[in-house]
Amino acid sequence: MSQKQLLTQDLTVSQILRTYGKQFRQITEQYSDGHNGRCAMGVVMSYFGWDGKHDSDITTSLQAALPTLANANLRDDFFIIELNDSGMTFDEIADYLDQHYH
């Protein structure tokens, strides 16, 4: 098992948003703007290896993120997308997830 896999298993979705999200400018309506902009789910997928390019294969990164979403009792990524697009910051989404999903 690689060091990256060991590290990713320990972080929750909210921890990923709080720490890794600082590297990106938050956007809405899409996972990535192809540059430094990401929505909340885009941050999670980037943490799991997605480079943010629309033409790259995001399936692998999304599949890698699914166990972390499941650990937070999130069945899919749509809820995180809704929170992001409603105007909540990455930290606000992380706080909400910590309060409502364990």
Would you state the structure tokens that stand for residue 18, as one six-digit string? 């709080």
Q: Which of 2-16, 32-46, 53-67 has the highest mean pLDDT?
A: 32-46
Mean pLDDT score, 57-74: 79
More confident residue, 100 or 19: 19
Give which of 6, 4, 90, 101 is closest to 44, Cα–Cα.
Answer: 90
Residue 8 pLDDT > 90: no
- What's the DSSP call for residue 22? G
Q: Chain centroid to CA 74: how far?
A: 12
Residue 95 scores a pLDDT above 90: yes
SS3 32: strand
**pLDDT greater than 90 at residue 87:** yes
Q: What pLDDT band is residue 15 in, cutting at 50, 70 and 90?
A: very high
d(CA 40, CA 33): 13
pTM: 0.82
Cβ distance 14 to 97 under 8 Å? yes
